[in-house]
Each structure stands twice: as C-alpha cells, then as structure tokens.
Structure 1
C-alpha cells in the first residue's frame, strides 16, 4: 500500500455482482432498537452486505476473502457480496453511486483521506453506539481520529500506517553514524557523512506533498486552520518547514529528486544501496527487501521521522477505514460485518498475512510483533497525527505538490507557498488567506 500517492490499479477477477443499495444519503445513526438488537442478538440479524474492498487484488485481498468465509460461518443469515474495486477508481466510483442513490455498497474500504469528505457529503452512516464500534477505546488514537468528523464517528479503522525514517545500517556503519538522526539538523549532518565517507547520497526526498508533512508537523505548521477558517500553508511556520526540505536538496545533503516518478526513483535508489536514508511507510518494506542492499533484512533500520525546531516529530496517519453507506438497506448486518472485520482477532490475522499495521492496540500480539517491521512501526506510530479532517483535504495536496516541486528546484519557499495559498482559496472559498 502507498498512501497519499497514486496506487497501482489492479482489477480483480473475483468481483461479484454489486447489489443496489438505494435510499437517502443523509448521515444518521441507526435507531436505538436496531443497534440494541444487533448487539444483544447478533444471530437474529439477516441480510445481504455488499463490500467494496480497495486492497490489492493479488497480495492483500485473499486474506480478506478468507475472513469473509469465517464471518459467514459465524453469521449464516448474512450473505456478503465481495467486490474488489481498484483503489484508483474507488473514490469517484463511490461518490457517483452515492450521489445517484443506486449501486453504492453497504460497506466500503475507504482511504483515511476520503472519510471526512464522504461524511460531509452525507454518504456515510454515523456508527456511534453501534456494534461496529465495540471496544472503541482499543483503537489507536491516530486511526480513530481519521473516522471522527464533527463529533460523530463514521467508520472503524481497519489498518493503519505512518511515515518513518528508513535507513541502511551498513552504510551508517561505513559512515561512522552511531544512531538514527532525531532532528532534521542531525539528518543533514548524517547525510553529509554518508556522502563523504560512504560515497552515496545521504537522503532522497520524495517531492510529493504527502511526504512533506513531517517537515510541516515538525514546525507546528499546517495547511489550513479549520477552527478559524484560515489558510495557513504560507504562514511563517510552513515556510520554515519547506525551507528545511529545500536546504537539504540545494546543499547537496539530499539527492536531487526526480520530479516525475519520484516515489519509484526513491525506492530504487534506496533498495539498491545508492542512498542511505528515505522517508517512507511500512508498505514499502517488501519491495525494499527485494533490493540488492537488503538481502539481509536486518540491514533495514526504522526510526521515527526527525523532529523540527519545535522539538516534536510528527507524521501523517495513513491506512483504511471500513465505512457504512448512509442508504444501506441492511444497517445491522453491515454493522456486524464491520465489527468482525475490525476486531482485534481479524486485524491480527491481516497483519500477519499482509504485513500491515493493526489499528487496535490489542491486535499487537507477540505473534504480530514477531515481524520486525511491524514491531518497529508500532513505536513509530507514537508520532503519527491524524490528517486534516476536511472534505477538501485530498484536493489540497495537488497544488501543494506542484509548488513544492518548484521550491525544491530553487523557487523561494515564500513565493511557492503564496501561490499554493492562492490555489487553496479556489478550493476553500469561505477560508481567509494569511
């Protein structure tokens, strides 16, 4: 999985017929009687649940399909229609179906960045007080924040992730670096040592705005302030954050990034031992281990992203939630399905089979933490912060990415972020500029 960037679209051959789920798209919680019946007597609940799964059809979906079989054995009166929808198509496809009131699934595997927008548009059912959110406090705070919008909860976290600092231990040893850098200043020093002593580029920055977030969080910056309805992407804190990233490139501490296929170029350079450090998530580990520099998986170091001048490190929460369509004709069955698929047992199974991070604390069993990548990222998750809870949040990343590239190429940070703020006004006409 890659979050905040374009995912590879893979069409599944196992897709079943999509059940039409018409009805109102007004978000509301199920009635107390419905919720209590599903909680008190789940065996009495019947119905058909269509699930749009947006996971990779080849590498991840088989695990979820096996869990569906377990769910149906436990709930024989509930039938699950499984449909694998390519991630790249799912957001718009769900919007279109929900807007028309026909063809939307009962349950969707939603990227965390989509969930607030779907809630704002009235496409999701609030799940407060339903079986879907049983043991709610067991969810990690970061993932739980991604389903919370205007004091209601519109989904259950299924898997989570964040960005960490990945580094080549052998190159660190060659350069005489004893431990992972804890600040951006230390990272620059380490990068320069890697270049002078190990003969490789120190760090590679992906020029996508999702990967800019750790710099922003480290300076206490944000794209917008939702409480005051102000655009803050060009505030002094944000300028300082972007200038830190810009300096890494212009000083030569960081490799000059490719401005097309930035992610792929970053991965290739790192896994083949041509660069000592990158910022990436747990989803990248399998690809990294296929590289020549990581034939010994123990060579991969994983640490939290460095802190900025605030002294705090932060990275965005990624992952996926299970959300229920507001017009579902089977709310009780959908709630029970979400409950089962996001239970600690199910999330532990998914973690072991797919190598993803659970969104529940109790799912980090000893068996799950036997995977060193998961164990390391469990600690990294302590620095994870929920992304902007704004329907337009995903749209804001596009102009920020466009201008971030220009800044890394040498444009003054203030100019580039002022231009970004101008684009934000078009997306957020009721927000004030700095």
Structure 2
C-alpha cells in the first residue's frame, strides 16, 4: 500500500488525539465528583424513636453532592467516655454529640473547632438564643445546640384534685405542704401515694445531679467560685437546699425505694421534677397517664425559680482537613428547620424565633399552640442562665460522681448534711486543683 504524505499522517494523529481528549473529558464530566466523608458519632438522643436519627442522616446524604456522613450510634452508658478517649487520642470522629456546656478538657486541649472556623457566619451564630453562651469558651462558640433541656415540675392532676388541690405548688413551702397532705391523706384512705419524689434518689442515679443542682440554685447556691477554682457547695445555700430535700424523707413524705418516673406513671407518686424531655416517657404510659398529668414551672425557692440546664449540641474535631464539610453537616442537622423536629420529644428550640424563616416559626408556634406543656417549659426556660452550666464544666466528672453518692446519703439521712457537702467540696476541689 502506498504511504500517506507526512502532512496527512500528522492531521490524522491530531484528530485522533482530539477525539481521545474529548472522550476523556466527557467521561470525567459524567463521573460524579468524589464526596468528602464525615464520621459522626452519637448517642440515640431522639427519645422514643431512635431510628429517626438514622433517617435524618440518610436525608442529608441524599441531599448532598459534596459531603457524605457515616453514622455510628453508641450507647448512653459508655458513649460519652468512648468519644472523649478517642478524640483525646487523635482517633475520634469528625463530628459528635456533646452535652451542652461541653467538656473542659477538650476545650483546653484545643480538640474542638470553633464554629466560625467551620463556616458559621456571624448571622448564623446570631440566630441562637442567648443561652448558647453555655457553649462559649474564651469568646468563641464551639458547640451548635440541637436543643436545650430545663427541669420542670411534673404533677398528676388526678391525684392532686382527689386530695383537694386544683393547682400545682408554686413555692418550696407549697410543694412541701401539698406533698405532705397527699401522702398523709392517701395513707389514711388505705393506699399510700408519695406526694413527692426526688428523681435520682431511687431511680436513674445520675439524675440526682440535675435534681440537686436545681434545688441548690433555687436556694441561691453556686457550684464554684466566680473564678471556677473553688468548689462552694458547703455553704448556707447548700445546707438550706439539702436540709429541705432531706425533710421529705425525715417526715416520710417521700418513700424510699420508689422510682419517681415509674411511680408517677403507675399513680404511686404525685409529683416529681426532671428535664422536660421525660414527658415522652410519661406519654408512653398511654392509658395510665393520658389526660391525668401536666407540667408546671419549678416551685420557687428562697432565692429564685431557676433550674439545671441540659440538652445536646454538635461539635467538630479541630484540625480537620476539610472543616467546611463538617460545618456543612452541622449547619444542616442543627439548622432551624431540622431543629423543629426535636420538639416532637419536647427538646427546646435553640433559636430565636424572631430570627428564623417565617415557615420555620409557623412550625414552632404550632407546637406551642397545640401542647399546653410548652407554656410551663418556656416559662422555666426564661428563668435559666448559663451560669450553673458554665460552673459545672469545671470539675464535672468529679462533681457528678461525688454528688451521686454524697447527695443521696445526705438526703436519706445516712450522712450528716454538713459532712456530705464537705465531702463534695473536697473531692471536686482536688480535681479543680489538678489532682
């Protein structure tokens, strides 16, 4: 075969190269861009319907072309410590669920990324309620709240009315007299009902911490000195609070061995207080509780009607190769529109409703308008300040362990009140001063 002129060969090679380049470009254009993978570790915080969290992550992944989240759900018993150890060892998740208030060790070790480094704008941060200050450290925010918790009073309307009370107690004095009357009148009628029970005394021991801190706060007490260096529970306010709680057991108003929540559901306890999210557990009592209970603000103590603050936030690990990807997920899951869904289990909406889209405010207002519990919850929320939770951040683990044993022993009379309070201060003080 006759050879082709060099010019024709060059032209053919150029055309073939152009076709190959065009085909490669088309293949690359049709191939989806690789997504950044974000690992998210959490406990099943959606009360009553834990699978809803999995569905939310699936919804996020389906909506994204640049970020994909891998979900790991841990148990409540070991989850927090598992996360902390992994993060401190540099092997933790990119994003995780944290208690509002955040871990001081992680903050001081610079293990957490501030929200403004994750893509949050000043406008984003300005939408949160002022209580977001519980997640502040050295002037920057490190946690995006999903929802807040506060302690409220839960009472059985049917039991109170049966023994002559049409309204819940509004003060410590009224709480004490109402509970005592219910206990004595029910006993005389042949079926003893505890007028009041402190949650954490005989069930879910960890609950004694928020219970105790609420009553300490109402007595005017503080967990630490203003500089966070000294534990200050052995105080006049501490003695007032613990002696008040102890009087319910000394005078046999409360019954040792009775679960506050289970007793409430069964009709064996007339009143108790805890975070408002426990309402989901009460509602699960169905015919045992349906229409028979209500929520009220905490009875006001000698100094105030404040209570412990709780709830959960999202945080991210510092030093991520793509912090914007973590921020994209956090701004979605902790967004105003998604946060309305947490109101289904009575999680308190963390945003100022005057600063969210109108359609989101409509959803929030619909919860307020259809469930009478919200009026009491928000009254209690408005009494809350970040002070107690910011104090609790310092010496947290030592304090919560000490309170679980010493508060219970002081309240049930096994340990003198002064001794119990001194013991708490001693154990927490050792931790505050570095061991």
TM-score, reference length from structure 2: 0.79
Unaligned runs of 5+ in 1: 1-43
Who is 1:165 aligned against?
153
CA contact (8 A) 2:153 2:271 kept: yes
- How many pairs does the alignment contain? 377
RMSD of aligned Cα (Å): 2.6
Who is 1:304 aligned against?
297
Residue deviations 1:255-283, cap 9 Å, x none?
Answer: 1333xxx7xx1111111111210012222
Q: Distance in 2 between matches of 1:171 and 1:325?
A: 49
Unaligned runs of 5+ in 2: 1-32, 188-192, 202-207, 354-359
CA contact (8 A) 1:205 1:266 kept: yes
Pair 293,382 (structure 1): closer, same or farther in 2 beyond 3 Å: farther
CA contact (8 A) 2:149 2:348 kept: yes
2:328 to 331, 336, 347: 336
1:96-245 correspondence runs (5 A)? 96-102=85-91, 104-112=92-100, 114-128=102-116, 130-132=118-120, 134-142=123-131, 144-199=132-187, 200-206=193-199, 207=201, 208-227=208-227, 229-245=229-245
Q: When you count helix as a share of all residues, which structure comes out higher?
A: 2
Who is 1:397 aligned against?
400
1:410-429 correspondence runs (5 A)? 410=413, 411-429=415-433
1:288 aligns with 2:287: no
CA contact (8 A) 1:101 1:327 kept: no
Who is 2:80 aligned against?
91
Counterpart of 1:203 in 2: which secondary structure? coil
Residue deviations 1:5-56, cap 9 Å, x none?
Answer: xxxxxxxxxxxxxxxxxxxxxxxxxxxxxxxxxxxxxxx9962211112125
Q: Distance in 2 between matches of 1:45 and 1:244?
A: 61
Who is 1:36 aligned against?
none
Larger Rg: 2
Q: Distance in 2 between matches of 1:379 and 1:373?
A: 10
Pair 382,287 (structure 1): closer, same or farther in 2 beyond 3 Å: same
CA contact (8 A) 1:229 1:430 kept: no
**Deviation (angstroms), 1:383:** 2.6
CA contact (8 A) 1:63 1:350 kept: no
**Deviation (angstroms), 1:130:** 5.0
Residue deviations 1:379-428, cap 9 Å, x none?
Answer: 32223343125242233111122111221222331121112222122212
CA contact (8 A) 2:48 2:280 kept: no
TM-score, reference length from structure 1: 0.80
Who is 1:324 aligned against?
316
CA contact (8 A) 1:157 1:359 kept: yes
Who is 1:251 aligned against?
251
Q: Which moved more, 1:61-70 or 1:406-415?
A: 61-70
1:5-20 correspondence runs (5 A)? none
Residue deviations 1:152-187, cap 9 Å, x none?
Answer: 211100122111110011111122223221211110
**Deviation (angstroms), 1:347:** 0.5
Q: Distance in 2 between matches of 1:343 and 1:400?
A: 35
Who is 1:22 aligned against?
none
Q: Distance in 2 between matches of 1:58 and 1:235?
A: 37
Pair 201,169 (structure 1): closer, same or farther in 2 beyond 3 Å: same
